[in-house]
Structures are given as structure tokens and as C-alpha cells.
Amino acid sequence: MRQTSSFCVADVCNLITYRLVLVALVARVAFAHGNKYSSAVCTPRYSKEYIGDDVVAPIRGKTLPRCCDECAKLKNCSFFTFNVDTNLCSFKNEDAHMSTNAAFISGYVGAPPPAPPVPTRVHVDLVSAETPHWTTGKNFVCWNIDASAGRGFFWRNLSTAAPFGAQLARQAAALGRVQEAGHSMLRFGGTGNDYLIYCGFGATKFPLLPSEANRCLNQTMWSDFLSFVHAANAKLIFGLSMRTGKDSKKNAFPYPWDPQNAREILKWTLDHGYGDLIGGFELGNEQDREYTGAQQAHDFEILYNLTVELWPNPSRRPMLWGPDPHGLHIPTGADPDTKLAWLTEWLDHVQERGVPIHGVTHHEYVEVEPVPTGYTSPDRLDLNTKIASVINKTVREHATFNSRDVRSQFGLWGGEIGPHNGGKPVCNHSTMRWAVFGDSLWYADALAAMAFNGYTGFCRQDFIGADYGMSDCATGKPLPDYWTALAFGKTMGPKVLETQNDGGDSLRSYAHCTANSRTGAVTVLLINLANRSTTVDFGSALTKNTNLLGKVTQKYVLTDSVDPKFSLINTTGIMGTGIRLNGKELTLEADGSVPTLIGEPVMAGELLIPPESISFLVFENAAAKACM
């Protein structure tokens, strides 16, 4: 599979029109399977109930195959729940809120196609070692903390004075240490942040009726959180509430934005010596549902003026990220053109107003189905590249420098990126749909695809919380995606290169200049989606300056665990929560510290790449001109 430049979107433009790319992002593919009772194909999930998100009233008297058929016929239906006892069928546009219940069978229309067989031998090389294809930020691996009730922010103690918060901070700090910036970015955002009132920082009163949609962030919680940010060796991207100071039981989202409550908490933050922890701000979460792009641009101008007021020294002033609209994957037949139109309207208007934007952000959940073929489906993972290239093309066309040159540090960021939108699952091990090794196949591919397609940063949703976190919501221990992020940050530096391979869709290849190296070293990332191994040899762009005894000098190969004691659920393999590095289980040290990931020396001209694996291969002697 050869990767091509996101700036011209060459292969996409040659194979299908821009419009077809957009259609592909929202299409659900049906596969005939010959079931004599049903004309549609659905993938069942037994003993699972999807709650809410109904598109029509439930229908009684159906069978499971008929439930599948009826959903396939409905324009807005992608998921369904069938009650075995009552024969009641419910039709859904999402599967976010799921519970375990033996009386139910749920599912979705279609089935992710499995990975095709990989050739027994594959050749991999760089397209060019002369110049970088793109350069990301030096803290590309970013992570999120979400104040939504379903993420446990209000009951989970993140204070570093508490063992749980201190342990999470140690794990987060490791993600920053391995990256070239020496620190990571922590995005404090999400739906819950738009329902926060900053209580006790000034004249703003506490709400009369606290609820999920009406919560206080008080001085104790805020200072505890800031201590966590400091211990995590991170810079905070603070997603400010659009309803600051408003009682959501009485007030809709206001326009224009009133910055008074935000001013109160930020003034307190500066007065108490925490100002240097804030690297930037977002404003609101998925506000394309509430405002026009022009209105949101006006609100960003208000925010910018607030930062000028509170940080008069431009060199110390936090930067602005936004607008973080909902992603292009949105189901139920919605037209992605409307999402892009909203984004371009916002881009045009913030530039007209002279508002300096450091990072253009968006949400994206590609909805990886939590079944083995969902994690290994090239069609599903291809959405990473398709979405990223479409967003990049749109932003680059509209974010042009104007005479005031307000975007000298402009970048494209994935503001809230995850395998699924999560919903509100309980915090236990009854459902850990994306806490498994299989999800790391998606995550590694998404990181590399966004880096290749012109992104500066990738903020993973969520560091902890729900059933898709990088850390277990109950214990805080790292899950496979955490170790994948650590390996990516340690080996894949900011300079992105272009690869080519003849392995087909099942072997995905990416390359970066090796992190923290200036000697021309190159790291190649290989993701084998197939269920069998393949032998890989490497071309001259990687090996021409290397003797025959040591083409690859270090390997970091991530595979699933076969030992049930390393899984939080009664499953091993890619559907288990264990992970191995070069065959050794990855776990925290006895004192809770994060072990240093150590590569395995390799003295061979070719490598056997295991099935369903992630391999970071370091060519220390590649002497790539782009990496010097």
C-alpha cells in the first residue's frame, strides 16, 4: 500500500471524486449472507441492550432477522435491540449507551469485511529519504480529560495528594517525556465542560439545582486538577464552557458568549500562580449544533480579547484552539457537506476578525465495531485517511494567510478522537468494548494516518473514563492503547516520511524520522491486520547505508496477550486487555512507575511480522537526509 500526499489527495482524487469520499464516510455497507429468513446482513451482540437513541417507536411481534431487516429499511437506523422475551424490536441511530442483559440481543446493519490474506513476503521502502512529507508538532500525542458525568470526573479524585490521581499523573507524565517537546498537551474538554459553572471564583452564584447538565467546578476541584496537570508534565488546553454562569435549567446556550464567569476562574488561576500551566483555550464543545460558523467566530473574538486582557504579554499568552465541531462520520444520512460548510464559514470569519488560531480542531469517531473483524477491517481503518485528507484539504483551502498574518503558528489538530462516541457505560468490567488490544490496531493506524495527512496533534479521547479510555476507569491501570501511544511517542518523531509496500491492504506501512535523533535514523511502523504472519524485507532507501548484518537495529513489536491473568476480562487475544512488547507482558512496575520501553536488537536483513500486530522498527543507520 503506497501512501500519497494529503495536500493533493492524489490517490483519492484519481480513484473517486471528492464527493464520493464524503459519501463513503457515512455509508453503511451491507453484505449478502444468504440467510433465508433475512435479506439484510446484521452483526449480532448477544446479552447486550442499547438504551435510547431510538429513531422510531419500538415494534412488537418481530423476530431477530425481521428486526435486522426493518432496521436496514429505515433511513436513520444503523443499530437495533431485540427483546427475546417480548419480541419487541427497537431501532437506533447510535449504540453509545449499552448495558449487559441476557434478555436482549443487539446488533448493527452490515458487517466489517475481514482483512484479506497478506502475502508471505512483502517489500517495504521509503518513497524518498530526501525531504519530509510533513512535520507534526513535537507533542503530537495529546490526550483528553472529559468533565462529562459518564467519564467519572466528579467522583474520581484526580488530586495528586490521592494515590489514584498520583498514579494517573505518573502514567501521563511518561507520555510527555518520550516526545521531543518533553511534555504533552492535555485537552480538558468534552460535552460535560459545556455544563460547568465555575463556582466560588467571583460573583457567580452556585446553581440552585445541580444536575448532570448543571454542575459546579469549585476551587478545590480546580486546584486539585491543576496539581494533576503539573504532575502529568502537561500543558492544558482548557475547553471553556459556553454556558458559564448560566443555570441550564433556565437558560439555553447564550449568544453572544458572556466571558464573565470565565474571567473569574482565569483571574483566580493567575493570582494563585497556575497561569503557566495553561497552554491554550477552546470555546465550547460541538457548537456547530448551537451556532452558525459566523456566530462562533464572534465568540472566539470575545475569547481572544479576554486573553489579551488577562495576559497582556503576547509571549506568555495562551493560544486558541477550535472550533471542534462534531465529526464527519455522523450517521443517519446527514450530509457531511454541511459539516465542512460550517467549518469553512468559521475559518473565513475568524480570519476576517483577525483572531489568531493556533489549532483548527474537530471531533471524530470512526465507530470501530467491537468485534474482531471490526478491528482488522481495512475498510474501517481506511476512514482514518479518508476523513483526515478531506478535513485537511478543506482547511488548507480556506485557512489562507491574510495581510495581518494572524496565524503564524497555524496547525490542524484532532481535538477529540476516539474509536467510538462512548455513551454512559458504568465503570466496571462488564463492558470494555474498546479497552482491548484490537483497538490499538485502529489507534496506531489513526495516529499515523493523521500525522501523514497534515495534522499537528492528535488528542485521544479519553485518558480515563467510559469504556474506550487509555486507562482502566476502575483501577487506572494502563490499557493497550496507552502502551501504543507510549511506543508511538518514543519512536515516531515529528518529521513524517512516505512509504510504499506491496503487501496489499492488510499490511499498513508508515515512517517517521526517529524521535529524538538527528543522525538520519528512521522508524517504520508496520500494522499487520491479517491473521497470519509475513516476512518483510526493506529497500535501499532504508538500508543503503547499513551493513548486511544490521539493517534493522531495534524492534518494538506489540502483540496481544495469550495469558488470561493479564486481561481484565475473561478473554485473551485481540479481544483481551493484555498486551506484550517483543513477547513480554507490559505492566507497571511494582511501585507504579511506568517501565522504559526497550527495543530488541535485531541483526537481520528481513523480519517476520506477527499476525495482528504493531511493529515499530528503528533503522538507526538509514542516514536519511530528511532526518538530519
pLDDT of residue 209: 62
Distance, CA of 455 to CA of 321 (rounded, Å): 13
Rg (CA), the chain: 24
Least confident of 96-105, 131-140, 339-348, 462-471: 96-105
pLDDT of residue 435: 93
Cα dihedral across residues 261, 267, 269, 271: positive or negative: negative
Q: Residues near 567 by Cβ (< 8 Å), separated by ≥ 6?
A: 561, 576, 577, 578
pLDDT of residue 22: 38
Instruction: Determine the average pLDDT of the residues in 111-122.
Output: 90
Question: Regarding predicted confidence, which is higher, 425 or 385?
Answer: 385
> Taking 80 as the threshold, does the pLDDT of residue 335 lie above it?
no
3-state DSSP helix/strand/coil % of the chain, to nearest 5: 30, 25, 45
- Does residue 133 contact residue 496 with C-beta atoms inside 8 Å? yes
pLDDT of residue 244: 67
Highest mean pLDDT among 365-369, 372-376, 483-487: 483-487
Cβ neighbours around 613 below 10 Å, total:
22
Q: Give tens-digit pLDDT for 173-193.
A: 999 999 999 999 999 988 888
> Taking 70 as the threshold, does the pLDDT of residue 400 lie above it?
no
pLDDT of residue 45: 79
CATH level 3 topology of 42-109: Hepatocyte Growth Factor (3.50.4)
Q: Kindly state the cell numbers that stand for 620.
A: 538507526
Spacing of C-alpha 590 from chain mean position: 29
Cis? peptide before 256, omega within 30° of 0: yes
DSSP string for residues in 571-625: --GGGSS-EEETTEE----TTSPPPPP-PEE---SEEEEPSSEEEEEEETT---G
Distance, CA of 475 to CA of 164 (rounded, Å): 8
Cβ neighbours around 13 below 10 Å, total:
14
Q: Give tens-digit pLDDT for 487-514.
A: 999 999 999 999 999 999 999 999 999 9
pLDDT of residue 408: 41
> Taking 70 as the threshold, does the pLDDT of residue 10 lie above it?
no
> Taking 70 as the threshold, does the pLDDT of residue 459 lie above it?
yes
Q: Give tens-digit pLDDT for 543-601.
A: 876 654 457 889 999 999 999 999 999 899 999 999 999 999 999 999 999 999 999 99
Q: Residues near 268 by Cβ (< 8 Å), separated by ≥ 6?
A: 201, 202, 219, 222
Partnered with residue 417 across adjacent β-strands are 364, 460
> Taking 90 as the threshold, does the pLDDT of residue 334 lie above it?
no
> Taking 70 as the threshold, does the pLDDT of residue 251 lie above it?
no
- In angstroms, the first-to-last Cα distance of the chain is 26
Share of the chain above pLDDT 70, in %: 87
Cβ neighbours around 86 below 10 Å, total:
11
- Pairing mode, if any, of strands 141-146 and 457-460? parallel
In the numeric block, the cell 464524503 is attached to 22
Partnered with residue 536 across adjacent β-strands are 122, 607
For the domain spanning 136-491, the CATH number is 3.20.20.80
Domains of the chain by residue range = 42-109, 121-129+497-627, 136-491
Question: Regarding predicted confidence, which is higher, 210 or 238?
Answer: 238
> Taking 80 as the threshold, does the pLDDT of residue 98 lie above it?
no
Distance, CA of 489 to CA of 64 (rounded, Å): 45
Q: Please report which confidence band the pLDDT of residue 248 belongs to, taking 50, 70 and 90 as the band edges.
A: low
Least confident of 75-84, 204-213, 245-254, 573-582: 245-254
- Closest C-alpha to 38, from 58, 56, 55, 63: 63
- Does residue 560 contact residue 581 with C-beta atoms inside 8 Å? no
Residue type, 524: V
pLDDT of residue 212: 64
Q: What is the DSSP-derived secondary structure letter of residue 54?
A: B
Q: Residues near 264 by Cβ (< 8 Å), separated by ≥ 6?
A: 198, 201, 202, 203, 204
Distance, CA of 507 to CA of 530 (rounded, Å): 8
Least confident of 442-456, 504-518, 595-609: 595-609
Question: Which CATH class for the 121-129+497-627 domain?
Answer: mainly beta
> Taking 70 as the threshold, does the pLDDT of residue 349 lie above it?
yes
Instruction: Determine the average pLDDT of the residues in 89-115.
Output: 83
- Closest C-alpha to 276, from 221, 233, 324: 233
Q: Kindly state the cell numbers that stand for 215.
A: 454542575
Q: Residues near 259 by Cβ (< 8 Å), separated by ≥ 6?
A: 244, 302, 303, 306
DSSP string for residues in 440-477: HHHHHHHHHHHHHTT-SEEEES-SBSTTS-SB-TTT-P
Q: Please report which confidence band the pLDDT of residue 30 belongs to, taking 50, 70 and 90 as the band edges.
A: very low
Q: Give tens-digit pLDDT for 33-68.
A: 333 334 678 888 777 888 888 999 999 878 888 899
> Taking 70 as the threshold, does the pLDDT of residue 17 lie above it?
no
Whole-prediction pTM: 0.88
In three-state secondary structure terms, 359 is: strand
Instruction: Determine the average pLDDT of the residues in 118-129.
Output: 95
Half-sphere exposure of 493 (CA within 13 A, CB side): 20
Q: Please report which confidence band the pLDDT of residue 245 belongs to, taking 50, 70 and 90 as the band edges.
A: low
Instruction: Determine the average pLDDT of the residues in 518-539.
Output: 96
Q: How open is the CA angle 358-359-362, to the nearest 5 degrees?
A: 160
3-state secondary structure 475-542: CCCECHHHHHHHHHHHHEEEEEECEEECCHHHEEEEEEEECCCCCCCEEEEEEECCCCCEEEEECHHH
- Pairing mode, if any, of strands 522-528 and 613-619? antiparallel
pLDDT of residue 546: 61
The enclosing H or E element of 174 equals: helix 163-177
Average pLDDT, the chain: 86
Distance, CA of 373 to CA of 438 (rounded, Å): 9
Q: How open is the CA angle 155-161-164, to the nearest 5 degrees?
A: 50
Least confident of 50-54, 235-239, 424-428: 424-428
Distance, CA of 157 to CA of 452 (rounded, Å): 37
pLDDT of residue 13: 37
pLDDT of residue 338: 83
Characterise 190 by phi-psi region: left (phi > 0), alpha (psi -120 to 50), beta (else). left
Q: Widest CA span of the chain, in angstroms? A: 73
Share of the chain above pLDDT 90, in %: 61
Cβ neighbours around 500 below 10 Å, total:
16
pLDDT of residue 26: 33
Distance, CA of 186 to CA of 179 (rounded, Å): 14
- Pairing mode, if any, of strands 606-609 and 579-581? unpaired
